[in-house]
Structure 1
Amino acid sequence: MELLLLIFLPLAGAIVTSFIKGGSAKVSALLFSLLSLCVTIGMLTQFKPDASTQFALNYTWIPQLGINFNVGVDGISMITVILTNVLMPLIILASFKHDYKNSNAFYALILFMQTGLILVFVALDAFLFYIGWEAALIPVYFICAMWGGKDRIKVNMKFFVYTIAGSLFMLLGIIYLYLQNPSNNFDINAFYALKLDSYHQGWVFWAFFIAFAIKMPIFPFHTWQPDTYTEAPTTGTMLLSGIMLKMGIYGVVRWLLPIVPQGVNDWACLALILSVIGIVYASIIAFKQKNAKRLVAYSSIGHVGLIAAGIFTLTTQGLQGTMVQMLSHGVNVIGLFFVLDIISSQLKTNKIEELGGLAKVAPQLAITFLIIVLGTVALPGTNGFVGEFLLLYSVYTHNIWMGAIAGLTIIFGAVYMLRMYQRVMLGTTNELTLTFTDIKGTEKIVLYTICVLIVVMGVYPKPILHLSEASVQQLLDQVNQKLTGVN
């Protein structure tokens, strides 16, 4: 029953919050997100880090079509559940400094999105997975469209078209797999058991890969991302970058690899090349950015490119690095966007050239920002190092030249992130930055929590690795058995 509570508690919160007017709506949303976190902690204390599916529930939903409400959690999905329910309270708390018009609708949409996200990460029925996939998209579309910047309508339409197009490709793939399934259901294990030939696996691969690549995003499916991240309200940007893009990563690991391993094997080289191109391309574009928010957006493309490259090496190190880096990237990127939101809220700008000297007037912000930046550039002892080391190791052992090029993400990232920090925080103050005030209240809570997570995950990553290790190994065994034809 814990899993039902985990899924429907945010939905109940969305309904309740939608009827609450004024500033109490944000308190209601925070309360429900904290309750979801408590449920997650309770599940984590009972979770056994083996390869089994736990807290499983399977109810008949639409028997005529073989659709069941089939959910469960293993080590891989537990990582994404933790990611969602740890970051959601921080994202909501980070929004407390803003007064949003129709705040009850704003926070209800956030909680509704949380329901969709959890459904994606625990669904063991392909139709249910697709419902969660779309349910997570709709709220963030309205959040960006209603509370975004001046170009929000045009930018949001591009985002919507991209994601809907990808979703339709995935739906076609799901329907095809359903038609090939002699059991006439959408059960994930039945899909795993299908024996498609190489040709048809290739087509299914692309149907799913396009949807997942758009969501992550991977080059060249990334063009919606920088504009959307820039025009969306900071809360929307945090939701997109911190949690929602992990839907694509999770989809590749949970659905793509085990269902069409031969298709993955045939096209992995191309997927790797696209991922590595994205790393270099995004890093070069980030160098040229004058807006700090767009710089972080391109930085995110580079980091996700490395995660994708690690996945397609089909190695234990690559998938374990993915698990760790999903958490690390989520924590770091919402920290970066929150710092920039604090700056723009006071100074009404994110242009790097207009800033400078903030460390002199806001030392606490400068220290926390530095810790987040160091985590982002993968300094040893921070959370970013563990995942990136495993990912780079997997790519390097797969192909030395690919590994060398992918390793540029650390070098480039260190240059443009530290250069941004230098220009924003160091140097002399100007007429604009002289009036800046240091962090306080909820800003301190959010940033201090993020900094603690960065250090703790970097110094002691063993619990995260142990949590997913057995499930990752079982998944790779399934993939290898299907590739070698061993049943």
Structure 2
Amino acid sequence: MNVSFILILLLFGAIVTYFSGDKWAKIVAFAFSLASVAGSLYILNQHNAGINTGFVANWISNPNLFIALKVDGLSLAMILLTTALTSIIVYSSFGNEYKNSKSFYALVLFMSFAMIGTFLSADAFLYYIFWELSLIPIYFIALIWGNGDAEDRKKAVIKFFIYTLAGSLFMLVAFIYLFQKAGSLMIGDLYQIHLTEQEQLWIFLALFLAYAIKIPIIPFHTWQANVYQKAPAVGTMLLSGIMLKMGLYSVLRWQLPIAPVAAKMYMNVFIALSVAGVVYGSIVALKQRNIKKLLAYSSLAHVGLIAAGAYTLTLDGLRGAVLQMIAHGFVVVGLFFAVEVIERRFKTQEISEMGGIRIQDNKFASMFMIVMLASVALPSTFNFVGEFTLLYSLYSANIWFSVIAGTTIILGAIYMLKMFQHVMLGDANTKVFNPITVNETLVFVVIIAVLLFFGLYPKPINDMITPALQEILIKINKQ
């Protein structure tokens, strides 16, 4: 079995989910998402056994394009993250009722299909198609099933769509130019092109625009908070947990190896820009009164740190970036799910209207606290492993980058603990907080188990991703 099976499974699952009807849609979607997890684990087992599970087939002869899927430790890590979180996200939605749920869950599976295609593509044109395809389902999920005033929601979603599409067009122009130079869009051929410093700079900047908007990195972040707030919980979790990782992954897979000279020349500029996002996101999060916006700016700070580590062009920086991508995916899904649990009961996202939840449900408060502490990188949690590695890589580049980026730990602890105090502690709320259900508890248990297990034993992921990252560094350092 090759890796194309996972893509076919998810695409077929989206179709079957749509035709299963509203009554069975969520069950069918969850079954296919679990099947994709099983398929991913099987591919991992084959990869560990030294079996090539990639796929290459001729697609278009003129121009010369391929359906090419590359499997290495880096892409495998992203596939496992996507399939695992898709299953958790679908299951977490069982407590909600969605109008036209067959379309809703079909779009979720289709989005997972497109994101995995982005992580696997080894032909730039195929990669671009999957990159754009992932926009379509999240646009409709946020627009149709989102929160708040319909007009405000429409403005936020259209802004996100236009921003992301505009950035992607710069990436497309870069690929067209590279095709003229190489006569191919296969990633291996693009790595071999010898570009002048000026050419590399323009290619680097064109790709940077696409990735900086998707991640996002300031000042390209202005779409994020409103979309996170307006999207339904499932949409917010897909965006923050998986979709933004497409940009971070692409920095490692496409941007740095294709334009390594530009990356080295302007390394400090892009690290500084990413670190600025860490400080900015943390400070703005301190001022938020809407809990989803607070978490959106918290996410901005964390992904800024990930991008900064990637741009150090060191093995520790790249490895820390991947580790933190995975850890951030699980913790941010856990945090947004906690918000969804509260919103189901209190019908609000305003922190001032919460409080006293611990008195009514101590179990939920305890699980929320564990996920919250993981987000501020408490030792023994997965996020600590990633953040420590990233800060170490920044220290190697410049001690001041590490010192400034380290404020994310201090500021993060302040705004997260302050949020926890206002949301969970205090006198009992006049609104009734019904105890969390078995299904809701199971979501938290799975997320917490991942965060604690890999916080104490990250070796399996380290061993999986390191060879692929070493190959990328070799390509970067050739020029």
The two structures have a TM-score, normalised by structure 2, of 0.98
- What does residue 122 of structure 2 align with? 124
Contact 2:79 2:116 in 1 (8 A): yes
Question: Aligned AA for 1:163?
Answer: T
How far apart are 1:49 and its partner, in Å?
Answer: 8.8
Q: Is residue 2:312 matched to residue 1:279?
A: no
How far apart are 1:387 and its partner, in Å?
Answer: 0.2
- Superposed structure 1 runs of 4+ greater than 6 Å apart: none
How far apart are 1:478 and its partner, in Å?
Answer: 1.3
Contact 1:61 1:68 in 2 (8 A): yes
Contact 2:2 2:54 in 1 (8 A): no
- What does residue 310 of structure 2 align with? 311
Map 1:388-399; keep pairs closer than 5 Å: 388-399=387-398
Number of aligned residues: 476
Q: Distance in 2 between matches of 1:49 and 1:134?
A: 33
Q: Which runs of 5+ in 2 are unaligned?
A: none
- What does residue 40 of structure 2 align with? 40
Question: Aligned AA for 2:7?
Answer: I
Map 1:454-465; keep pairs closer than 5 Å: 454-465=451-462
- What does residue 13 of structure 1 align with? 13
Q: Distance in 2 between matches of 1:277 and 1:288?
A: 17
- What does residue 221 of structure 1 align with? 220
Q: Distance in 2 between matches of 1:117 and 1:303?
A: 21
User: Secondary structure in 1 aligned to 2:56?
Assistant: strand
- What does residue 485 of structure 1 align with? none
Write the deviation string for residues 128-177 of structure 1: whole angstroms up to 9, x where unpaired: 10011011111111111111122210100110110000110100011110
- What does residue 209 of structure 2 align with? 210
Q: Distance in 2 between matches of 1:260 and 1:54?
A: 28
Write the deviation string for residues 252-274 of structure 1: whole angstroms up to 9, x where unpaired: 00000111101111222211111
- What does residue 251 of structure 2 align with? 252
Q: Distance in 1 between matches of 2:254 and 2:187?
A: 8
Q: Distance in 1 between matches of 2:8 and 2:111?
A: 11
Q: Distance in 2 between matches of 1:9 and 1:72?
A: 18
1:75 to 55, 73, 76: 73
Question: Aligned AA for 2:278?
Answer: I
How far apart are 1:2 and its partner, in Å?
Answer: 2.9
CA RMSD of aligned residues (A): 1.1
2:88 to 87, 90, 110: 90
User: Secondary structure in 2 aligned to 1:244?
Assistant: helix
Q: Distance in 2 between matches of 1:430 and 1:236?
A: 28
Shift of the 436–468 alpha-carbon distance from structure 1 to 2, 3 Å rule, reads same
- What does residue 356 of structure 2 align with? 357
Map 1:35-434; keep pairs closer than 5 Å: 35-48=35-48, 54-149=52-147, 150=149, 151-181=152-182, 184-432=183-431
Q: Distance in 2 between matches of 1:285 and 1:75?
A: 36
Write the deviation string for residues 1-52 of structure 1: whole angstroms up to 9, x where unpaired: 33111111110011111112223100010000000000011111222398xx
The two structures have a TM-score, normalised by structure 1, of 0.96
Contact 2:118 2:127 in 1 (8 A): yes
Q: Which runs of 5+ in 1 are unaligned?
A: 483-487
Write the deviation string for residues 287-333 of structure 1: whole angstroms up to 9, x where unpaired: 00011111000000000000000001001111110111111000000
User: Secondary structure in 2 aligned to 1:59?
Assistant: strand
Q: Distance in 1 between matches of 2:270 and 2:88?
A: 33
Identity between Structure 1 and Structure 2 (%): 47
Q: Distance in 1 between matches of 2:166 and 2:356?
A: 45
Q: Distance in 2 between matches of 1:268 and 1:106?
A: 42
Q: Distance in 2 between matches of 1:315 and 1:480?
A: 10
Q: Distance in 2 between matches of 1:62 and 1:477?
A: 31
